[in-house]
Amino acid sequence: MIELRDTLIFIPFAILYNIFFHRMTEMIYKNAPQKEQFNKSIALLFTIGLISYIVVFLFLPDRPKYNDPNIKLGILIGGTLLIMSAIINNWDNMCETSKLSALGLFIGCMIANTYGWIDKDRFNLY
């Protein structure tokens, strides 16, 4: 079970993680035209969200020095927020197949988050 103390650590970390990458994409594409800036920032945020999951599930369990559960959950939730914001911001421009794929990916991310919280031994979260 996740304690209140842990929640007060990983939730703000996830929000700051999300804000950091949103501001980073704004700085990277600040000189681009508006349409190009929007499209590239959405793609970059979506990619960073996916990379967050890859880092947590593939790289961090192999390194016991970096096995802090609050950081892992913060990165997972931050990655989920990045993916969710990229999908929501681009929803009107997506075709029906892309919308279905995006929802499927988002559901997969939520399942991975749930397994990360519940199955602690498998993902070495605690």
Q: What is the domain extent for residue 99?
A: 4-123
CA nearest 52: which of 14, 102, 101?
14
pLDDT score recorded for residue 126: 46
pLDDT score recorded for residue 16: 92
- Tally of domains in the chain: 1
Q: Can you say whether residue 124 is alpha, beta or left, with left for phi > 0 and alpha for psi between -120 and 50 degrees?
A: left
- Kindly give, in sequence order, each residue whose CB lies less than 8 Å from that of residue 22, ignoring residues fewer than 6 positions away: 45, 82, 85
Query: What are the 10-residue block averages of pLDDT along the chain, 126 residues in total?
Result: 73 90 92 88 90 82 71 86 87 85 84 66 50
pLDDT score recorded for residue 24: 93
pLDDT score recorded for residue 89: 85
pLDDT score recorded for residue 25: 92
pLDDT score recorded for residue 27: 93
